[in-house]
Structure 1
Amino acid sequence: AKQIDDLTLAIIICLSRLFLHISADSKYYQSFFWIAMSLLQIHDTKLFASCVHFLDQIVHSMSDNGCFRGQGLATFCASARKGPSERMLAKLDQLSGLSFKYDFSFAVAGHLLKGLKNVGTKAAVTRLLNTFVEYSQENNPANVTGYFAAILPHCGDNLSESCRQRLLSCSETGSSVFNAGMVPDKIRASLLFTYLVTILKSSESEHEQLYIYKALEEGAHFMPDCLPVTFDVLMKKMEQILVASQNDQMLTAVLAIMNCVYTYGLESSSPVATLNKQYMESIGFASLGSADQFNQNQKGALIQAVCRVLDGFLQL
């Protein structure tokens, strides 16, 4: 079936309450993260909202139980993928086009992006992203880059104090995610560029757009070779700004990006969507550029894949 009924939502609520009473030593304890994360991937707004609250509860509880101490959330949760569900979770990653194996924080942020674009779930998703930053206990700054890529355009200067302090510890400037700690290689740079431009693609907020254009300018200076991965979307958006915008700051930021394009000789790079898609697929994130929308066409296949994941966890 392609419909998510009230019984399914009631089961999620029951699971979230049950989780609070499960011992951290239980063989099922670790699997709850992947149960919630898998269910979240089904393109259903009601189910998505329930799973966001469920995940928030799971991360808080696991942190309180010391699960992430000394290793961080990503490593702890990755170990829970091993076992009967490992192959099914990998298949789900392939189907959704967002790979937890290649980059955990960007996979989380990618799955949550459509919730940031939905008025009914935006506040809860922002809260969950803050939870990931605050409680994940990641020692490597690159392991939180995806979370900040999602939070910063939406929150800007209204960051929570815990996020502000975490960003300060990860970044030389305390404001830019484009730094050697958080973006240590071209794969992370490509993911960050793509994520920001995916937000930009359907953004209606000038504040959000201005943050992204300024960030893209910083990124273009920091790792210019990776900027062309955005060209099929970015060039059209910048043309629209130059033609229609009356915001001086926005115009300045766009002109600065275009100056970078010519300064670094990137104008000959092909803005062909198929080439960019192939590259993103090669790094496990073929669907990152479309992660801002609920896709009803994928729902049936995802439900089947998630059911197989759940069956795997029942075999533990």
Structure 2
Amino acid sequence: MRRILLIIFFILSFPITTFSWEKVPVPDYVNKKVKSPWNFFEDFENQEERKLKFNRIFRIYDKGAGLKPIRIKKDLDGNKYLEVTVKHGWNNDPLKEGSGKETERGIFQTKQRRTLNKEIWIGFKTRLPEDFKHTSDGRVTFFEFKNRHVSMRTHPLVRISFDDTGKTLKIVGNTAGTGFNRRNKEDNIKHRIDIKYKKNDLNWLAFQEKTRGKKKIKNNFKLTQNKSLKITKLGKWTTYKFGIYNTRQETGFVKVFKDNKLIFDYKGITSDWKEKSTGTNVRIGVYRDSGKQIGIEYPNQSIHFDDFIIVTDKKTLDKYLN
């Protein structure tokens, strides 16, 4: 009896750690053989301000800055969200220091899971703060679906970023290749997929695309039916959705939606690398070229994220994000 009372005492004496993520059930109509290895919804509402609790789903990609880039913040209306910040020199790869290829990052990601021959639907809301300043050169990436392989460089199947001082919205990915040389021109022509939207006064206009096995084109676009997209103002939320079937077969696909408009629609092989796949991380955050590359210091940049979800089908995704 005394031992039982002591156990109860210790349980009540220490706080119970709870996590806000919600496990999302896989619908009966879904083929379980291709279901997503993650099925969750995280709205950050049960997190404490300025802190972030982790669980068996999430981790940070840390190269020295620890948790400093990641904060839970709250709007005036009470809504909580994830703020990811990058400052000069934060989380640079030590192996690149002094090389002229320095980068900086603050990344919140899923733990690695196997995604080959799986259908995965991802969504989140994101916002650039009203005081956000684009860098004068290089890219600012805020999402990656990062495939990993044995003894090879990692490659995103999908990456979305701002380029050219925020004047370009770019979706790009690699579907296959040798993987050892990221700048292999032959691999890029055969396997790279991408689309660029250029900024007009009020809209993003489709400017250039490249699909697998083809060269870049600037007209007769095949990867989008929406050649014009409304630009989201600073301080306003926008919603991105990604549909991915990761496979060596022609049945694969990558779909990207911005505020429910389909802005990228690739069909075909999505994972045909020479090395064996070891898994995938889904990343949100800020990844940018460092000002060290050109001898300057870029301003701090923060991007906000909310309602982060990964599920197995679009119907379930829409239920949570619409």
* TM class by smaller structure: under 0.3
Query: As a proportion of its length, which structure holds more strand?
Result: 2
What TM-score comes out, normalization by structure 1 length?
0.28
